[in-house]
């Protein structure tokens, strides 16, 4: 048994996510009732890379619970710049605080932090790996609008290759009985093969397309993401295709009346400004929901419930993770750990999930 | 009817300013009584350019009211650097908070923000345009010392061309029956013509001079401002004239016993250090007063009173504001709005007040 | 009589330090009882150079007392960058707050600040000069483990030349009846001559050595410090000697069972990672103790007790302090003050303690 953390979007079961959503809804409807819930508690926000939006959301969540917030928003102005290890920073700061939120550019950093923290750790983004509170926020917004992801046709549009929010969301959706997943992107920005394999393995129907307009009438949920111009092979290709993925009022004419439009934000050009006024555009409410979900999560973790440890072993012949962006290759003192849900499964790096 | 904001120093009437001053005085005399007044409230401070002094003053005001503060102090570390529009940032952050304070390098940004904010907006400086809480602070300090600006001879000294605090103060003083305004500056740094026209239009007597020493015996209030060396045409001219505008103990010998010396701070060389100890030097108390005035303002705006909308229209032939520093030329989605107090007046850009 | 500040580690007597330790222990054992102790109070943290660790510790201390915190963490984003004097900044900010914490790269800055502050000032580090709250933290940790420094053999290891925490600690230890001080460093990084003279003057036995392993069996306290590679004359010399000063599990085999291992942190390579798990390694607890000691200190200073002024005089012929890193050579308006405990003693600069 170990302290409960939130490192991976799969750390909470479907039933537990349902409870978090109920709790978040309760908070949303009775916000002022919670203004003293964490009165004597301190949250440390260790942001090794700046992310104003995420940090503001966590800070607001804690402050609305009556708690306090300490932390830094940029490693360059912290002791890290004097060569301190992640391990030491976490040991010290968790001695000041009751809950720790960590954002780090390197994959697996949040798991590594959880090994040394005296208090619960929340992963607020570890490189391209995980961003589980965004996924919980997405699910909460679906929960509020649709009750459940079961039976829904979910479209994911934009950069499906690099977007960790999309990967996390798909991973969690696979636990529900969604009707179909429709993947809308260029061939270059389509989702990684291993994720497609996961979808197939879970028996979920999926379709790939480059044409948002064609599939929009079928969607119950449309999850838009930011496409970065520089992701295209040439400016010609960008100009040729970018319009296809921009959500406009015109395209929405053919969509369902109760379509739920989501976006993790910030957005740039991928949604026309006048779409914001469409009642189906829920991304600003989604951002607000993130605050309530984080409040629910903080309350849950501060109960300091113990959970079953993941099966983890230190394999004899294992030297290092092949992923150069894995924290175990940056902080050399970390134990080289292999995880696996069951003995039959292939091992994976416990930090960054790379299959070994 | 619309939510009340504070964008322009003229948004509050003379009567309303009097009420704010009474409230601020009440707070100053009974500070601890207000320590729970905003217990469940959150202020967002969106500082798109750093301004430690102003930000500290707003933060302290909110904290002394028992509220909480979130925000950023530099746009480069915020989502803005990912290309997010002002509109989106304001929509999202006003979903987290109960009141929004914005500082922005571009003129009209605070008005633009108020169009999209779900909560009251306070302008904490928008380029060279407005800084209304400084003006309210100035008036509160005059109110505490003199009761009212009516009947006073007010001297304004230093950079009268570029100082937005001076322009805002003059604009508001014109609503009172001041006896005389004495403008003390070089010819190069004298106030803009349109402001002189305003003074004349309001039937207020004014004098221009380059000699502080000559006019100091007549003043009831002396408002000093920072002169920047680089504002002079040559270093020779600076050295020739700068001494004329430095306030010294010697010059003060000829001043009234109850002269009120103000400065928006920070100051550099324009006031000798030993003047600080003169009881007539009230600029440090003025800075402290800024905190009480901001507390009074926050309390007032959080009542969420509705006010009459300014008359605003979207003119058919109007394409863009001629002022390149206007927010409407930076955030292209903004509606091109023209405002006018009455139909007889010439239209002006609703964001930056440029006459069209 | 004047307001009590904490500028120098000798500002509190041995008896007063004992009281602070008792208070800090009380807080550590009953943390939640103090959550409203400073409910209406505001701490200003003026960090003219970044120091995340120290700032977090002060912030947490104040927040755990129910107080609020304002401030800046870098002078470049403050009004200082507009040329404002330290004096003006302190005057203004102490008008917002109830207690002021200052960190500054220039020696004597905290004393200078205390001359103009309306509220108690805590020195959180002034260049290479003083860092008294670290010393109080060290003493509190010794107090908790050993009851008192009296009778102890204390080893100090690493960079004894440049480490202000070591100098402050020695200065205070001289007031106790320690059994012996053992100085473990290279010849190049040994403590300054004036400090050796002080040790001798106080009749304390001391030994100098380059061999940690040899002396470790005799130690009751081992105070490790960070050695910076660039402090060595050549990389060869570094590699030749650095191992000698690294604390390893192996070296600890010969140490006392109740050795107390301290380190001001952050540490880099001078302590092996596996030493962290040794129960004698108390540096992480020491960091946590810093929070309790700062809470005790804030509570004490907010009582606004008056203390006897140090004897200070403005000598006729005295023009400037010979120390170029002294604040009196940076902020020119400062009075040139000489201090001396008694008339018989040689005068020293009141800001930076340089003997004149």
**Distance from C-alpha of A264 to C-alpha of A286, rounded to nearest angstrom:** 8
**B158 and B145 in contact (C-beta within 8 Å)?**
no
Please, which pLDDT band fits residue A316 given cuts at 50, 70 and 90?
low
C72 min Cα distance to partner chain B (Å): 7
pLDDT at A80: 62
C84 min Cα distance to partner chain B (Å): 6
Please, which pLDDT band fits residue C319 given cuts at 50, 70 and 90?
confident
Beta strands B68-72 and B99-104, pairing class? unpaired
**Distance from C-alpha of C68 to C-alpha of B64, rounded to nearest angstrom:** 8
pLDDT at B236: 81
Beta carbons of B72 and A59 less than 8 Å apart: no
**Candidate from A78, A83, A96 with C-beta closest to C57:** A96
pLDDT at B94: 95
Lowest mean pLDDT among A79-83, A216-220, B210-214: A79-83
Give the best residue of C43, C56, C228, C294 to mutate against chain A (max A CB count within 10 A): C56
Please, which pLDDT band fits residue B243 given cuts at 50, 70 and 90?
confident
Backbone phi and psi for residue A215, each to the nearest 5 degrees, phi listed first: -95, -15
**Distance from C-alpha of A186 to C-alpha of A8, rounded to nearest angstrom:** 28
Give the best residue of C45, C65, C77 to mutate against chain B (max B CB count within 10 A): C77
Beta carbons of B71 and A56 less than 8 Å apart: yes
**Distance from C-alpha of C327 to C-alpha of C104, rounded to nearest angstrom:** 10
**Distance from C-alpha of C116 to C-alpha of C100, rounded to nearest angstrom:** 11
**Candidate from C88, C96, C333 with C-beta closest to B56:** C96
Neighbouring C-beta atoms of residue B254, cutoff 10 Å? 12
C19 min Cα distance to partner chain A (Å): 23
pLDDT at C271: 95
pLDDT at C317: 67
**B80 and B23 in contact (C-beta within 8 Å)?**
no
Kindly provide the residue ranges of all beta strands, DSSP E only, lying in chain A, ordered along the sequence. Answer: 2-3, 42-47, 68-72, 99-104, 121-126, 153-157, 180-184, 205-209, 221-224, 260-262, 306-307, 312-313, 338-339, 348-349
pLDDT at B326: 95
Average per-residue pLDDT in chain C? Answer: 91
Please, which pLDDT band fits residue C346 given cuts at 50, 70 and 90?
low
Structure tokens at B319: 């394409």
Give the best residue of C39, C62, C69, C82 to mutate against chain B (max B CB count within 10 A): C82
Rounded to whole angstroms, the maximal C-alpha distance in chain B is 60
- Please identify which residue in the block is written with the tokens 């150069």: A324
Average per-residue pLDDT in chain B? Answer: 91
B83 touches chain A (CB under 8 A): yes
Lowest mean pLDDT among A42-46, B159-163, B167-171, C123-127: B159-163
DSSP string, B78-131: SGGGGT--HHHHHHHHHHH-SEEEEEESSBTHHHHHHHH-SS-EEEEEETTS--
**Distance from C-alpha of C73 to C-alpha of C102, rounded to nearest angstrom:** 10
C269 min Cα distance to partner chain A (Å): 9
The pLDDT tens digits of the residues spanning A103-137 come to 999 999 999 999 999 999 999 999 988 999 999 99
**B185 and B192 in contact (C-beta within 8 Å)?**
no
When pLDDT is averaged across residues C2-24 and rounded to a whole number, the result is 95
| β-bridge partners, A307 | A2
Give the residue on B whose Cα is nearest the Cα of C118. Answer: B284
When pLDDT is averaged across residues C139-162 and rounded to a whole number, the result is 96
Q: Is the dihedral of CA B174, B178, B180, B181 positive or negative?
A: negative
A284 touches chain C (CB under 8 A): no
Chains in touch with C (3+ beta-carbon pairs under 8 Å) read A, B
Please, which pLDDT band fits residue B81 given cuts at 50, 70 and 90?
low
**A330 and A106 in contact (C-beta within 8 Å)?**
yes
Backbone phi and psi for residue C37, each to the nearest 5 degrees, phi listed first: -60, -30
Chain C residues touching residue A89 (CB < 8 angstroms): 266
Residue C125's nearest CA partner among C101, C104, C99 is C104
**Distance from C-alpha of B113 to C-alpha of B80, rounded to nearest angstrom:** 14
Beta carbons of A97 and C285 less than 8 Å apart: no
Chain A residues touching residue B82 (CB < 8 angstroms): 226, 266, 268
Beta carbons of A88 and C267 less than 8 Å apart: yes
pLDDT at B259: 98
If DSSP codes are grouped into helix, strand and coil, which group holds residue C71? Answer: strand
Beta carbons of A60 and B70 less than 8 Å apart: yes
pLDDT at A343: 45
Higher pLDDT, B344 or B198: B198
Give the best residue of C74, C75, C78, C112 to mutate against chain B (max B CB count within 10 A): C78
Classify residue B296 as left (phi > 0), alpha (psi -120 to 50) or beta.
Answer: alpha
**Distance from C-alpha of C126 to C-alpha of C134, rounded to nearest angstrom:** 12
When pLDDT is averaged across residues A321-338 and rounded to a whole number, the result is 91
| B343 pLDDT more than 50 | no
Packing angle of the helix pair B14-29, B283-301 (nearest 10 deg): 110
| A342 pLDDT more than 70 | no
The pLDDT tens digits of the residues spanning B59-75 come to 999 999 999 999 998 77
Give the best residue of B41, B61, B266 to mutate against chain C (max C CB count within 10 A): B266
Quick check: bond before C222 cis, omega within 30? no
Average per-residue pLDDT in chain A? Answer: 91
When pLDDT is averaged across residues C323-328 and rounded to a whole number, the result is 94
C260-262 β-sheet, strand order? C205-209, C180-184, C153-157, C221-224, C260-262
**Distance from C-alpha of C305 to C-alpha of C3, rounded to nearest angstrom:** 6
- In chain A, pLDDT over 90 holds for what percent of residues? 73
0.80 exceeded by the pTM?
A: yes
When pLDDT is averaged across residues A291-317 and rounded to a whole number, the result is 85
Tell me the ipTM for this assembly: 0.92
Residue B229's nearest CA partner among B237, B238, B221 is B238
When pLDDT is averaged across residues C220-249 and rounded to a whole number, the result is 83
The pLDDT tens digits of the residues spanning C87-132 come to 999 999 999 999 999 999 999 999 999 999 999 999 999 998 899 9
pLDDT at C344: 46
| B318 pLDDT more than 90 | no
Helix H or strand E encompassing C44: strand C42-47
Please, which pLDDT band fits residue C160 given cuts at 50, 70 and 90?
very high
A294 min Cα distance to partner chain B (Å): 12
A57 touches chain B (CB under 8 A): yes
B97 touches chain A (CB under 8 A): yes
**Candidate from B40, B79, B91 with C-beta closest to A53:** B79
SS (H, E, C) A122-153: EEEEECCCCCHHHHHHHHHHHHHHHCCCCCCE
Residue A242's nearest CA partner among A254, A231, A250 is A231
- Please identify which residue in the block is written with the tokens 């009346």: A257
pLDDT at C79: 59
Beta carbons of C52 and A78 less than 8 Å apart: yes
Give the residue on C whose Cα is nearest the Cα of A71. Answer: C56
Beta carbons of A268 and B82 less than 8 Å apart: yes
Chains in touch with A (3+ beta-carbon pairs under 8 Å) read B, C
Domains of chain B as residue ranges with CATH: 2-130+289-307 (3.40.50.1370), 133-288 (3.40.50.1370)
B84 touches chain A (CB under 8 A): yes
The pLDDT tens digits of the residues spanning A143-182 come to 999 999 999 999 999 999 888 899 999 999 999 999 999 9
Residue B133's nearest CA partner among B142, B123, B148, B121 is B123
Q: Which among B261-275, B284-298, B340-354 has the top mean pLDDT? A: B284-298
Please, which pLDDT band fits residue C300 given cuts at 50, 70 and 90?
very high
Higher pLDDT, B27 or C129: B27
Quick check: bond before A266 cis, omega within 30? yes
Kindly provide the residue ranges of all beta strands, DSSP E only, lying in C225-342, ordered along the sequence. Answer: 260-262, 306-307, 312-313, 338-339
Give the residue on A whose Cα is nearest the Cα of C291. Answer: A96
Beta carbons of A97 and C59 less than 8 Å apart: no
The pLDDT tens digits of the residues spanning B84-99 come to 899 999 999 999 999 9
- In chain C, pLDDT over 90 holds for what percent of residues? 73
Higher pLDDT, B146 or A240: B146
**Candidate from A39, A68, A79 with C-beta closest to C53:** A79
Beta carbons of C60 and A71 less than 8 Å apart: no
pLDDT at B167: 92
When pLDDT is averaged across residues C4-29 and rounded to a whole number, the result is 96
A285 touches chain B (CB under 8 A): yes
Beta carbons of C91 and B284 less than 8 Å apart: yes
Beta carbons of B333 and A287 less than 8 Å apart: no
């Amino acid at each position: 048994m170990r302290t409960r953390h939130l490192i991976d979007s799969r750390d909470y079961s479907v039933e537990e996510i349902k409870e978090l959503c109920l709790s978040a809804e309760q908070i949303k409807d009775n916000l002022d009732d919670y203004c003293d819930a964490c009165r004597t508690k301190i949250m440390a926000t260790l942001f090794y890379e700046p992310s104003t939006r995420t940090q503001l959301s966590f800070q607001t969540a804690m402050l609305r619970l009556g708690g306090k917030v300490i932390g830094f928003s940029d490693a360059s102005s912290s002791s890290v710049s004097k060569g301190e290890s992640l391990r030491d920073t976490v040991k010290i700061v968790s001695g000041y605080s009751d809950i720790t939120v960590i954002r780090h550019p390197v994959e697996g950093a949040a798991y590594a932090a959880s090994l040394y923290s005296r208090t619960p750790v929340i992963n607020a983004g570890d490189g391209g790996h995980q961003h589980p509170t965004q996924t919980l926020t997405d699910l909460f917004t679906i929960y509020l609008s649709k009750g459940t992801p079961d039976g829904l046709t979910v479209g994911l549009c934009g950069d499906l290759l690099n977007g960790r929010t999309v990967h996390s969301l798909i991973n969690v959706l696979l636990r529900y009985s969604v009707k179909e997943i429709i993947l809308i992107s260029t061939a270059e920005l389509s989702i990684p093969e291993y994720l497609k394999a996961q979808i197939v393995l879970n028996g979920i129907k999926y379709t790939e397309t480059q044409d948002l307009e064609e599939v929009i009438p079928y969607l119950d949920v449309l999850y838009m993401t930011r496409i970065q111009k520089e992701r295209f092979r040439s400016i010609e290709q960008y100009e040729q295709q970018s319009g296809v993925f921009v959500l406009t009022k015109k395209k929405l004419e053919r969509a369902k009346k109760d379509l739920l439009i989501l976006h993790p934000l910030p957005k740039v050009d991928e949604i026309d400004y006048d779409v914001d006024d469409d009642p189906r555009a829920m991304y600003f409410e989604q951002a607000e929901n993130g605050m309530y979900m984080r409040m629910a999560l903080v309350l849950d973790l501060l109960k300091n419930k113990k959970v079953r440890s993941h099966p983890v072993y230190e394999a004899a012949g294992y030297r290092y993770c092949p992923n150069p962006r894995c924290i175990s290759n940056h902080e050399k003192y970390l134990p080289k750990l292999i995880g696996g849900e069951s003995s039959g499964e292939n091992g994976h790096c416990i930090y960054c999930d790379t299959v070994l």
